[in-house]
Amino acid sequence: MLNNSFLLPSSYFAPISYYSIIYIYPESIIEKHEYFVKQTIRNRCSVCCPNGILNLSIPRIRKNSSKTLIKDIQICYTEPWQKIHWKTIKTCYNSSPFFEYYMEKIHALYQKTEKYLIDFNHRSHRLVLDLLESDQAINYSQKYDLDTPLKDYRKYSFNNENIIKYDQVFSQENGFINNLSIIDLIFNLGPESDSYLKKIDVSKIY
């Protein structure tokens, strides 16, 4: 029997499998008291470009200490990463079936400056749930609990052995690429994203 809620890491336009997990539980709790883990979905998402997978990373202000809680990670704006990310997304998906339908809301995400990564991720997560027309509640951990009684996905990479293909932009060049950012699914399937997510076997996610 499933727990009533589960624990996820904070994420930037998380992989498709991340959102398939959300569909089987009534409540999600996002961890905000763990140490930041670099080169993960906490500040990076993967999109599809003509040459294959392209990772987009939100730059952070580095501190002398290597250990900083995710809630205290500050975004670095020495380079215009918001413009770069949006331009990349537009280049990758402007020929997708639902790009024009969703582009204004996603573009708006990059037009507001957030000091903390956790806040930007929160806005991106709320946006995705809105686009998916999901009423999933968003809650945050109150402290770090190593031995949580909840189903714990904090250390998952969100790879998925359960491959269900759908039509993608650049599929002729790259073939099908599994488990990209949720925006790849939304731009390509639009309202059908909901039914796709429900078909994924979450036991195959790791």
Asked if residue 44 is part of any domain, the answer here is: yes
Range of the domain at 101: 7-204
Asked if residue 103 is part of any domain, the answer here is: yes
Per the CB < 8 A criterion, the answer to whether 177 and 48 are in contact is: yes
Phi, psi for residue 107 in degrees, rounded to 5: -60, -40
Residue with tokens 């670095």: 76
Instruction: Give yes or no for residue 26 having a pLDDT over 90.
Output: no
Q: How confident is the model at residue 187 (pLDDT cuts 50, 70, 90)?
A: very high
Output the CA torsion sign for 153, 46, 197, 104: positive
What pTM did the predictor assign? 0.94
Asked if residue 147 is part of any domain, the answer here is: yes
Q: What is the pLDDT of residues 87-139, one digit of tens each?
A: 999 999 999 999 999 999 999 999 999 999 999 999 999 999 999 999 888 89
Stretch 26-30: mean pLDDT:
87
**How many folded domains does the chain comprise?**
1
Query: Measuring CA to CA, how many Å separate 88 from each of 35, 37, 47, 143, 166?
Result: 29, 24, 9, 36, 22
Asked if residue 2 is part of any domain, the answer here is: no
Asked if residue 161 is part of any domain, the answer here is: yes
Asked if residue 48 is part of any domain, the answer here is: yes
